[in-house]
Amino acid sequence: MECIRKRPTRTKSEELIYQAQSKNAATVNGKLIGMEGDEDLSFLLMGGELLKVRSNSWKKSRFFKLQEDCKTVWHESHKSRRTDQTFSIDDIAEVRPGRRTEELQKYTEELAEDRCFSIIFKGRRKNLDLVAGTEEEATKWVNSLEKVINNVRNLNSQQQTEHWIFNCMRKADQNSDNKMSLKELKRFLLEINIEVDDAYAEMLFEKCDKSKSGYLEGSEIEDFYKLLTSREEIDVIYGKYAQTGGQMSARDLLHFLLQEQRESVSLEDAQKLIEKYEVDDIAKEKQHMTKDGFLMYLNQPEGMILNPAHKDVYQDMTRPLSHYFISSSHNTYLMEDQLKGPSSTEAYIRALTKSCRCLELDCWDGSEGEPVIYHGYTLTSKILFKDVIKAIKEYAFKTSEYPVILSLENHCSMEQQKIMAEHLTSILGDALLTKPLGDQVPTTFPALEELKGRFLIKGKKLNSLEDAFAGNAAGEETVSEDDEAADILTDEEKKEKESKLKLAKELSDLVIYCKSVHFHGFDHTRDNQAFYEMCSFKESKAEKLAVDSANEFIHHNVNKLSRVYPAGSRTDSSNYNPVPLWTAGCQIVALNFQTPSAEMDLNQGLFLPNGKTGYILKPAFLQDEATEFDPITLTRGPWLQHKTLHVMIISAQQLPKLSKKESSIVDPLVKVEIYGVQQDLASKQTHHIDNNGFSPMWNENFQFEICVPELALVRFVVEDYDAVTQNDLIGQYTVPFSSLQNGYRHVPLLNNCGDFIPSARLFVHIMAVDGD
């Protein structure tokens, strides 16, 4: 959330006053973000000229500076009616030094390498490619921006709220006199997403206007802030357990942790929490926790809904590759739709930074002897295969150190296939797996841990792995082409196109554990298919198998990999529901990462724990070759662990406005959705709250019966109620049932692109107990 002021025309004296006030505001904000007196912050506040690059012919000098809120960057624009001259630090995904975007590589000289940098935004906003006057200046911009970004991201919830409210108050203070009139107070409430009637606004104002001056200033504004940010629900909880002179002793806190949070902790653990989060030094000395310290704890990882023990790698990573769900992308090269959207190396970088571990590369002959990647038979733009491999090499293991599978859809001639093989081996080097691990012919997949830092190629192979291991050369052959791109063609066009693809030995030899084969039924695969031979299924085929032959599909997926991909008819790059495929044991359930959707929320939720490695260990009953588990027709077995989930939706804090209009206030409601086996599917919702996105309170209880908790996902959705049209998404958060924490918990909220919304939270009470 950001609150910024427009730049009105001012007289000289007004400008001097404004500059003094801005300097004072920048000092306060610098302190609020923990950078008081910092020279890097001062550099950004002063600003400077940078060359903005869009094409060979569009390179223009523009002035950039950080505004006094220390969170919003303003940049000069010569466009008339320009409204988006600012962007928030919160919107930046990365500050990338050097010529490391497609545009800078195309439109600048190599000599400018050390003067270039790019601001990469979250979501679909285009990169900002910039060139500084000197290498030193570029380094200063990059380092200073990174420092501010890190400081803002590391603010705790209370610090974020203080910073945001201070700047909203400044915006509401229209005449910049550091006082707040009743009119300005009403405007401020609209800024922070609350609409109240005049009587309530007057009551708040009169309560704080102790001097009866008709304005709030100084300590009166502080009193108003405290009144505004007080949490009645926290007061009630704290009051119940603060039994030692009005404060929580370590024993009181322990009682709360055992009774409400259902944690297996000791007095020493309670003492450590006080030491870590108590803000009052005197209380800390007594080993007491004040209400402020208690709220601080509830807003830290220990007080969040996701079990902190599950944030890092906590699962067994020594199981065979086929025993894991693998975060997987479809048409990874696309930034938008699959008919005419742009292809970009940036799409691969974004997928990798979101822990994707299986990337798709649709490879076609390029016009200048270099293979290209794009969506065949469409108007999507083309990118060089070698540029994609370079980008993958650089970003593959920054988020996760576990293996990356490159799924090749090969449409290239023999000559360009050999070039592909050369690029793969020369760019990826020793990280590319070119032979089986170990000194014996493999009979099963290696352990996931053994594949850390390695690239695996999925594609067609001329001979068997056994032959390759024995050194038996494969002859030149033709193979049937896996052509997902042709899904968009008519049946007549497909018949005209049907052909056999000649496969280059050089490319074939790079396929080790992921050889693509056609599916001919489970009887055939059981008797004829080697463990390293994997089938790809269109979503409709996979969904049918997951219903009609679920147990057979599960058996197949115990020691073989299955990949599922969206139908070609999804020209808008929409997604299908991945959950039924996961419950059938499919590992590589490929989704369009470029398309924000509920399905992508579920994918992000499944792969949220375990260190965001992109790998989640399947439940034991999906690893067992003799399993009788069937997600459609549940029978008794180790998978049946009936749980009753009690969820109380208590309140929310600082929900974002969905419209830039000052008068537009959200009317929030909350949905709780359960995904998993068919019997566990459920959804319940609260009533909506009129005109309050700052501190809505529901206090509504829901109960869910869950039969197979190891496959269940819980999704919290906050929507803006609309009586006429479809509700708009405000934020959501999805978490595996097995990673939930019991008790009073805050739920962070993500936007439709899967990025955190600063300060926005739900406050809930969770209790999962054994069912009948």
Count CB atoms within 10 A of the CB of residue 58.
Answer: 9
Active-site position among 163, 288, 330, 556: 330
Confidence of residue 176 (pLDDT cuts 50, 70, 90): confident
Provide the sign of the torsion angle of the four alpha carbons 369, 373, 376, 382, taken in this order: negative
CA distance 350 to 331: 13
Using an 8 Å Cβ cutoff, are 178 and 217 in contact?
yes
Q: Is 296 helix (H, G, I), strand (E, B) or coil?
A: helix
Q: Answer whether residue 17 shows pLDDT above 70.
A: no
pLDDT higher at 178 or 745: 745
Supply the mean pLDDT for the chain: 91
| CA nearest neighbour of 592 among 749, 390, 754 | 754
Phi/psi of residue 331, nearest 5 degrees? 50, 50
The two tokens of residue 200 are 């309530």
Q: What is the pLDDT of residues 24-69, one digit of tens each?
A: 889 989 999 999 999 999 999 999 999 999 999 999 999 999 999 9
What is the pLDDT averaged over residues 455-483? 74
Q: What is the pLDDT of residues 662-687, one digit of tens each?
A: 678 899 999 999 999 999 999 999 99
Structural domain spans, the chain: 12-155, 173-229, 232-303, 321-622, 643-770
Q: Answer whether residue 740 shows pLDDT above 50.
A: yes
Using an 8 Å Cβ cutoff, are 561 and 589 in contact?
no
Beta strands in 107-228 (DSSP E): 116-121, 128-131
Provide the sign of the torsion angle of the four alpha carbons 436, 437, 438, 441, taken in this order: negative
Highest average pLDDT, of 299-313, 490-504, 560-574, comes from 299-313
Q: Answer whether residue 175 shows pLDDT above 80.
A: no
Burial zone of 256 (CB within 10 Å; 0-12 exposed, 13-18 middle, 19+ buried): buried
Q: Answer whether residue 475 shows pLDDT above 70.
A: no
Q: Which CATH architecture has domain 173-229?
A: Orthogonal Bundle (1.10)
Q: What is the pLDDT of residues 635-659, one digit of tens each?
A: 999 999 999 999 999 999 999 988 8
Amino acid making up residue 760: A
CATH top class, domain 12-155 = mainly beta
The conformation of residue 69, written as its DSSP 8-state character, comes to: T
User: Could you confirm whether 375 is annotated as catalytic?
Assistant: yes
User: Could you confirm whether 411 is annotated as catalytic?
Assistant: no
Q: Is 73 annotated as a binding residue?
A: yes
Quickly list DSSP for 30-42: HHHTT-TT-HHHH
Q: Is 67 annotated as a binding residue?
A: yes
Q: Which CATH architecture has domain 232-303?
A: Orthogonal Bundle (1.10)
The two tokens of residue 115 are 């003067």
pLDDT higher at 188 or 396: 396
Domains 232-303 and 321-622 share a fold: no
CA distance 70 to 149: 10
CA distance 577 to 570: 13
CA–CA distances in Å: residue 78 to residues 54, 62, 75, 81, 103: 15, 9, 10, 9, 22
Q: Is 71 annotated as a binding residue?
A: yes
CA distance 629 to 623: 11
Confidence of residue 488 (pLDDT cuts 50, 70, 90): low
Distance of CA 325 to the CA centre of its chain: 18
pLDDT higher at 209 or 487: 209
The predicted structure's pLDDT at residue 241: 97
Distance of CA 161 to the CA centre of its chain: 22
Q: How many residues does the chain have?
A: 772
Question: Who contacts 508 (Cβ-Cβ below 8 Å, separation ≥6)?
Answer: 459, 460, 461, 462, 463, 474
Q: Is 551 annotated as a binding residue?
A: no
CATH top class, domain 643-770 = mainly beta
Active-site position among 375, 423, 688, 765: 375
| CA nearest neighbour of 102 among 390, 356, 336 | 390
Q: Is 666 annotated as a binding residue?
A: no
Q: Is 61 annotated as a binding residue?
A: yes
The two tokens of residue 434 are 């070119």
Q: Is 64 annotated as a binding residue?
A: yes
Confidence of residue 5 (pLDDT cuts 50, 70, 90): very low
Quickly list DSSP for 333-348: TBSS-TTTPPB-HHHH
CA distance 53 to 557: 49
| CA nearest neighbour of 484 among 494, 476, 473 | 494
The conformation of residue 734, written as its DSSP 8-state character, comes to: E
Q: Answer whether residue 487 shows pLDDT above 70.
A: no
The two tokens of residue 406 are 């490159």
Q: Is 363 annotated as a binding residue?
A: no
The predicted structure's pLDDT at residue 1: 45
* Residue 429 Ramachandran class (φ > 0 left, ψ -120 to 50 alpha, else beta): left
Angle between helix 291-298 and helix 157-172 axes, rounded to 10 deg? 100
CATH superfamily of this structure's domain 321-622: Phosphatidylinositol (PI) phosphodiesterase (3.20.20.190)
CA distance 309 to 448: 21
Quickly list DSSP for 392-435: HHHHTTTS--S-EEEEEEE---HHHHHHHHHHHHHHHGGGB--S
Using an 8 Å Cβ cutoff, are 412 and 365 in contact?
yes
pLDDT higher at 141 or 21: 141
* Residue 670 Ramachandran class (φ > 0 left, ψ -120 to 50 alpha, else beta): beta
